[in-house]
Chains A and B, each alone.
Chain A
């Protein structure tokens, strides 16, 4: 299957700092990537759609000024959690769709575990 990487795997930071998470599609190009958030023992919740060359689109209830998304190239999207607080602690996962005609399968990165102290 296709490979999507994320960096870092985990991060611990102090309240008030900003944290940047990178998502890369390693063996295919992705004009669109997706960012999810998962709390313990819960399902994945879509936060936003990252669009190469244009602004990200956010799901209802997700603060765009808190979660800054930049899709810098066809293989890289970044999520920056600004002024992080303990309630932002979560598991963040990105995905990228590999497209071929009507075929549209999404592949997920390994996730980033964020702990805000």
Chain B
């Protein structure tokens, strides 16, 4: 099955800094999604991005499907951005396979 790898596993930023999170997947995928898991465990949908680039406020994402990776950019980070960021790739049977996540801490 599809393997999904995320890097870095942990990231500490000072408020206001920018960061890039990476997601590599081992095979072609039907879909790729980015999520933010808040401290209560809720997964918040950030991007549905099988290919191309999208932006939403301070966040943007790019997926290069032919090279099997996706990037999540966070600009001008805020303490409320802290949490775990997951990417998940959808395989041919429409199952989402999750990466191991990037744990982000933004310090004031």
Residues on A close to B: CB < 8 A?
1, 32, 34, 38, 41-46, 49, 91, 93, 95, 97, 103-108, 110-111, 113
Contacts and interface: CB of A to CB of B under 8 A. Distances in A.
7 contacts: A46-B95, A46-B97, A91-B41, A97-B94, A105-B33, A108-B35, A108-B42
Interface residues of B, number: 22
A107 B88 CA distance: 12
Given A93-B41, A110-B40, A104 B86 contact: no
Q: Taking chain A's interface residues, is the majority helix, strand, or loop, or is none over half, making it mixed?
A: strand
Contacts, number: 49
A107 B94 CA distance: 13
Q: Taking chain B's interface residues, is the majority helix, strand, or loop, or is none over half, making it mixed?
A: strand
Contacts of B88: 44, 106
